[in-house]
Amino acid sequence: MRELTDELVAGDALGIGLARARYLARRTGLDAVRIWEWGYIERVSTGLLCLRDGMEQEGRAFLAIAEAWFRAPA
């Protein structure tokens, strides 16, 4: 959920993210909503960490994806 930032920025971030959460849920037997929520938090925290560490472009990309995911249906 935290990787493949370029793919998410270039495409349908919400659709790709939701599909990835469902895929991981099927593969692991875990709850897709929990995977989705973890992925969202990871996007925000990694984006903020990148900004703090001077990695502006990477941080903004992570946060842009988090923004796209923010109002996703559970």
DSSP 12-59: -HHHHHHHHHHHHHHHH---HHHHHHHHHHHHHHHHHHHHHTT-HHHH
Give this prediction's pTM.
0.85
- Residue 51 has a pLDDT of 98
Q: What is the pLDDT along the chain (74 residues), one digit of tens a residue?
A: 878 888 888 889 999 999 999 999 999 999 999 999 999 999 999 999 999 999 999 999 999 999 999 977 65
